[in-house]
Amino acid sequence: IMATRWGLCGAGKISHDFSVAMKTLPPGDHQIAVIAARSLERAKEFAKKHGIPKAYGSYEELAKDPDIDVVYVGVLHTEHWRVGLLFLNAGKNVLCEKPFAMNARQVKELVAAAKKNNVFLMEAIWSRCFPVYSEVRRLLTEAAVGEVKLVKAYFGSPQLHIPRSVKKELGGGALLDIGVYCLQFILMVFNGERPKSIQATGVLLDSGLVDESVVVVMKFSGNRIAFCSFSIATRLPNDAIIAGTEGSIQVFGPMHCPTTLVVNNKETEYPLPEPSLSLNFTNSTGLRYEAEEVRQCLLKGLKQSPQMPLAHSVLLTEIMDEIRRQVGVVFNQDRH
């Protein structure tokens, strides 16, 4: 079996970390063949740093490249929809960074384009591919903590100094950047079920345009409840807890890329490989798991990942749209 040939779209921080994570996988399985950026200079610089053979100064060139198995989209939130459609309509398999797009309408358009072109599409919720998450799913299937009654998730990270996090035109706010991780965890525990009710309250930045801190309470069928809180103004415990009638599961922080799981007070470690270059984000070598998940899906001829099905991505975005509606965040993309 040939190595999966990757094209990277975007030469930013997350693409850097993704490339470093790829080096922890067998080169016979994965190969980054191309990097495309908006400027050829940036692409070449990135290619040199990561030993990538080819560099393009436009995304269109990457879309036309016949030698690529899958494109990793690591551009700004606001560009995911446009760039995602470019690759899907060019017949490319796509792994697109979260959030998939700015709202549910855009996400549904991406999903429709993938179906129409008969290609693989996955939202890069890398958390879902971590060993800790696989173990959580296994425990839930076995009802290891009895009947789940309550799920809690926290994610707070001081990011007010980062333009991408605070500017509306860059798709800023706590919800899209980090809240998405709390919500996807809850959806995973409740198996992609639509909540019966969603109550959200939050505070906006002084600019009044994007959310700074938000609390969400959701009720699910069978009297089950979920609570999450996220903020770009402060650090939170960043852990997640599943409380059942016969025990509890705790995912230690960082819950979005965890290496420690505690089940009924028994702790297990799932260490990550060491990076060969310094990373921009916590535990980024764990991006290797979603890369390998994509490879396995492609080998099986799947068009979506069972770990992060497209239906989960659609529901996740619909929930985020509703939270934004309640908190009062409107993006330009909502007005079309």
Please tell me the number of Cα atoms within 13 Å of 279 on its side-chain side: 19
- The closest alpha carbon to 128, from 89, 95, 81, 168, belongs to 95
Domains 4-125 and 127-269+309-334 share a fold: no
Topology annotation, domain 127-269+309-334: Dihydrodipicolinate Reductase; domain 2 (3.30.360)
Phi/psi of residue 61, nearest 5 degrees: -60, -40
**Does 4-125 carry CATH code 3.40.50.720?**
yes
Tell me the mean pLDDT in the region 156-177. Answer: 95
Sheet with 148-156, side-by-side order of all strands: 197-204, 211-220, 224-231, 148-156, 240-244, 247-251, 260-263, 266-269
Non-local CB neighbours of 144 within 8 Å, separated by 6+ positions: 244, 247, 249, 263
pLDDT of residue 206: 86
Tell me the mean pLDDT in the region 223-239. Answer: 98
- CA–CA dist 185, 218 (Å, integer): 13
pLDDT one-digit tens code per residue, 104-144: 999 999 999 999 999 999 999 999 999 999 999 999 999 99
- CA–CA dist 258, 79 (Å, integer): 28
Contact 316, 183 (CB under 8 A): yes
Confidence of residue 1 (pLDDT cuts 50, 70, 90): confident
User: Residue 50, Cα to own-chain centre: how many angstroms?
Assistant: 23
- The closest alpha carbon to 186, from 144, 229, 146, 130, belongs to 229
pLDDT one-digit tens code per residue, 32-64: 999 999 999 999 999 999 999 999 999 999 999
Average pLDDT, the chain: 97
- CA–CA dist 313, 297 (Å, integer): 17
Q: Which two tokens stand for residue 114?
A: 């993938």
DSSP-derived letter for residue 10 is -
Q: How far apart are the two ends of the chain, measured CA to CA in Å?
A: 45
Burial 187-212 (b: 16+ CB within 10 A, else e): bbbbeeeebeebebebebbeeebbbb
Confidence of residue 24 (pLDDT cuts 50, 70, 90): very high
Sketch the domain layout of the chain as residue ranges: 4-125, 127-269+309-334
DSSP-derived letter for residue 174 is H
Contact 220, 226 (CB under 8 A): yes
- CA–CA dist 40, 67 (Å, integer): 19
> What is the three-class DSSP state of 310?
helix
